[in-house]
Structure 1
Amino acid sequence: MSIYKWPKFIGVAVLCTAMLTACSSTNEGNGESESNSTEKEQTTTDNQSKTENTAQTVGYANQINKTEVMSISIDVDEEAWKKMLDTATEEQYISANISINGTTIENVGIRPKGNSSLRQVAGDDTTDRYSFKIKFDEYVKDQTWMGLDKLVVNNMISDNSYMKEYLSYDIMSYIGVDAPLFAFSDISVNGETWGLYLAVEDIDSGYLARAKNDEGELYKPNNDDNMGPGGMGGPEGNPFAQGYGDMQPPNEGMAPPDGASPPDMNSGTGEDGANTLPEAGMKGNRGPGGMDGSGNGVSLVYTDDKSSSYSAIFDNAETKTTEEDYQRVIESLKNLSTGTDLEKYVDVDEVLRYFAAHTVVVNMDSYTSGMGHNYYLYENDGQISMLPWDYNMAFGGFGGFQGGSASDIVNLAIDTPVSGVTLEERPILGKLLEVPEYKAKYHEYLQEIVDGYFADGKFEEKVQSLNNMIAEYVKQDPTAFITYDKYEEAVAELTKLGTLRAESIQGQLDGDIPSTTEKQKEDSDSLIDASSVDLSKLGENKIPGGMGMGGGGRGAAEGNQSQEGK
């Protein structure tokens, strides 16, 4: 959202004054830097608190407090709970009474949620630690929790540090993106501690009213069910189960089949220096229904004027939409494809902020990789932008799938921050970076994040403050995927990784390190040395069927999996 829109959502005059102060240093979008440090600090403060400030009109916003651990107590019939867990992949709601920070909402819907993460837990008979969606009006019409219709609680799978998603949303909020509200949450079921989760405001009608003044349309583009034979992966979520070209299921992790080069994040051959898929296997399945997830509109590539060509977008509308709404989106994509009147059809400033934060945290389970998913598309009056979602695989957590090493993650090129695809295949990023003015503004936002969130030990302090807040909860977490020792190792490794990532971004902004993948290949000696980073300590993603992603152990076999009372 452009800065000039902020006052529309703020009802307190003094806040409007603060926002106008920020405008003087960040509006215009012409790449100008602000020399006055006081004004820069004011801009940073406004960016970071924008979501919280606009949220004061709804009660739940004060309850989802990222500086405290929320309390969520689930009171549910034991048999119904067990049956729901046993049939988790069906994602069926059951009724429960749920108390949040002491306020009880009765007859609420709750169900397991997720895609590959749900299948991972379902395929592991040592754990029932699912992520959950809580729908307050599933059984009682128009019931909300202080104005919120849905809340999700995420189980920290693949994240031994418990912090990746929190930090990602926090950085998004810091730079002024309308991220969902979030907070750590201590969950209990029928009086027994269940575990420490991350509670996240669902991007739906409640979010729309809070963050967007109840204006515009929301979509969650998703092509997972059509990503090659058998969907995202065919049976049991295994992309190799029904064959992808010449690729066969690897015996361990993502070892490439004979004749196929590993999908290296620094092996791009695209004209713009972006990464491409390996020659064997996946490449032949790109396109509609292909492995890159770009079919049916999820990539935001314009194909034609038929709404049926964008089913991955329009079949996943979060608001009540019409053909007229669809045509506005298509018109935006059409002009995006040619770079025509970009500011009319794209909320340029909001998108640049989004991609600045997204690039910093290196989340490849997203739009910027072959997956092409895990974002929301927001359209208002013919102008589109993107909203962040699902960041448990940030900070290189998806590296095993893409073949990335610690160096690839630390040094991901800021001007070609994609993997498995080219910028041409991701036009809402690629087309904006083609415009020098927008690219300069994008760099400004990257610099602002580095200066305000990472530099001078700030990132280390942030991680340590989160550790102080949640360490005891992690230590007592009966369903944790990992031991407490593994958590401590992950926190240390995350601190190291984030610090080096910021160092590389600074070097790229200064021109000391190439800012495109192709140039980095030509000058690898200039890259930040990340050999000290052990990605396995941060966690792994392992889909049933043998498709390992990343390193490290799930921890189910490490003695920290108490299933009693479930």
Structure 2
Amino acid sequence: MTMARRLGLTAWLVLILTGQAAAQSSDDFFNPEVLQRVELWLNSSDWSKLKAAFQENTYYPADVTWNGQTVRNIGIRSRGLGSRSATKPGLRVDFDRYATDQTFLGLKSFVLDNLTQDHSGVKETAAMRFFTRMGIPAPRETHTRLFVNGEYVGLYGLVESVDKTMMGRVFGSIGDNVQNDGYLFEYNYVLGSPWRFGYEGSALDPYKARFDIKTNENKSDTTIWGPIEELVRLVNDTASASFEATIGPRLDLAAFTRYLAVQNFVAQNDGFVGYDGMNNFYLYRLEDSTSHVFIAWDEDNAFLQPDFAVTASIEENVLSRKTLEIASYRTQYFTVLSEAAVQASEWLGQEVQRQLDMIAEAMQSDTKKPYSNAEHATARDTLLAFTAARVTYVRCEVAKQAGTTRPAGC
């Protein structure tokens, strides 16, 4: 081989390897170790309209840029419930709103959480990473600086959409069949009608109101919501002696118990067993199956207080109460709490500190947030003190439940 050919081959290999190194994935996009930069470009009048009508779900065309890559003709809209804001709107970004089947890094959409309800700015992201670490299905999340038409509009949470793409990532494949074609529901909190898994009759309308279907929308109501009505009815009607045998094929009870315990450990009072009924979760009926699994969502009310009761609201919810009446699941619940205490003492406190350090400058310079830098500092200090105090409290409560010697600090 001539020297020229060797040099040519070397240059070609460098180009190939450089291209591979530069290739990005959705894991890079949601990399929790990196404060991202996302830029939106849209007609300034459309941005003004979106903020003025922030309670509406009207879409506007835009372009989005991340890490030197631009996707054109996407759709953005205001999003959220209590977090909606005219000053700092939360946003949903849809790649295929105007361009059929358009994706970016394999994603159809993502969410920009405006962080208006959490003065620390990291409760949601820290809780979701903890859920994932504890084996609970949860979206990938990180933080980003958001720029609109070149203007810094604040620090946001960058959140993976709970959709078919995420289901494929979480549940994987059986052979060549990606397990993403099941029935995905977002729980819809009905104002003025708190619900705790009580049976609401055989008509499907009450379940349609509470479980918003996100996949397979063209199927019949009976196919979509019939299994939910059946699950709720059987949970309410089945005696303890046959509860596991009857409910087990319809709900992964071990996974549900783990989800309950981890959500309790992070002291979330607005979750599955929330103070005003069930809230903030997704439910997935697995593909070609009757079994359902809960998926974590919207944990920005986590880390409420270190002495949050380890069985808070469990008895008020029919499903959680009847599940934990079974000795094996009650034992599992407290075992998972102990596991969570270990993971928290070894990892969670450091992770909260790391995230707070990562966002510090972006938070300080965010003039759109509805709280002051002093209020952020107070929330920061409170959150930093949470983990150690929560670990001690939970260990003491688990020992009390087990009738064993309580550890130091109780």
Q: Which residue of 2 aligns with 1:491?
A: 380
What are the within-5 Å matches in structure 2 for residues 463-478 of structure 1? Answer: 463-478=352-367
Q: Which runs of 5+ in 1 are unaligned?
A: 1-57, 123-127, 229-289, 397-408, 515-525, 530-566
Question: What is the deviation of 1:174?
Answer: 1.0
Give the 3 Å change call, closer, same or farther, for CA 383–301 of structure 1 in structure 2: farther
Deviation for aligned residue 1:191: 1.1
1:496 and 1:513 mapped to 2: Cα distance? 27
Q: Which amino acid aligns with 1:484?
A: N
Q: Which has the higher strand share?
A: 2
- Inter-partner Cα distance in structure 1 for 2:104 and 2:235: 39
The alignment of Structure 1 onto Structure 2 pairs a total of residues equal to 366
TM alignment of 1:197-346, pairs within 5 A: 197-212=156-171, 213-224=179-190, 227-228=191-192, 290=193, 293-294=194-195, 299-314=196-211, 316-320=212-216, 321-322=219-220, 323-337=222-236, 338=238, 339-341=243-245, 342-346=247-251
Q: Which amino acid counterpart does residue 65 of structure 2 have in structure 1? A: S
Indicate yes or no: 2:64 matched with 1:169.
no
* 1:142-190 deviations in Å (ceiling 9; x for gaps): 1112221121111111211111101110111011011011111111111
Deviation of the 1:367 alpha carbon: 2.7
Distance in 2 between residues matched to 1:513 and 1:434, nearest whole Å: 15
Aligned to 1:426: 317
CA–CA separation in structure 2 for the residues paired with 1:462 and 1:513: 30
CA contact (8 A) 1:137 1:149 kept: yes
Equivalent in the alignment of 1:505: 394
Pairing partner for 1:385 from 283, 288, 293: 293
Offset at residue 371 of structure 1 (A) = 4.0
Deviation at 1:328, TM superposition (A): 2.2
Deviations 1:386-412 (A, max 9, x none): 11111112222xxxxxxxxxxxx3222
- Equivalent positions of 1:64-83 (< 5 A) are 64-83=30-49
Q: Identity, % of aligned pairs?
A: 24
1:309–1:195 CA distance, 2 compared to 1 (3 A): closer
- Once superposed, what is the RMSD of the aligned Cα atoms? 2.4
- C-alpha contact 2:30 2:140 (8 A) present in aligned 1: yes
On the 8 A contact 2:73/2:99 being kept in 1, the answer is yes
Aligned partner of 1:561 in structure 2 is none
Q: What residue identity is the alignment partner of 1:209?
A: G
1:443 aligns with 2:338: no
TM, length-normalised to structure 2:
0.83
Aligned-partner Cα distance in 2 for 1:358–1:480: 27
SS at match of 1:344: coil
Q: Whole-Å Cα distance in 1 between the matches of residues 189 and 379 of structure 2?
A: 32
Aligned to 2:306: 410
CA distance in 2: counterparts of 1:63 and 1:428, whole angstroms: 37
Write the letter of the residue equivalent to 1:81: W
Secondary structure at the aligned position of 2:356 is classed as helix
Using the TM superposition, name which of 213-222 and 184-193 deviates more. 213-222
Contact 1:305 1:330 in 2 (8 A): yes
Query: What one-letter code is carried by the residue in structure 1 that aligns with 2:68?
Result: G
For the Cα contact (< 8 Å) 1:204–1:318, is it kept in 2?
Answer: yes
Higher relative contact order (CA 8 A, sep 6+): 1
Residues 145, 156 of structure 2: 8 Å contact kept: yes
Give secondary structure in 2 for the equivalent of 1:346: coil
State which of 275, 278, 297 in structure 2 corresponds to 1:372: 278
Partner SS for 1:470: helix
- 1:100 deviates by 2.3
CA distances 1:117-158 after superposition (whole Å, capped 9, x unpaired): 21xx34xxxxx1111111111111111122211211111112
> Is this contact kept in 1: 2:344–2:391, CA < 8 A?
no
Q: Aligned pair in 2 of structure 1 residues 143, 447: CA closer, same or farther (>3 Å)?
A: same
Distance 1:468 1:147 in 2: 30
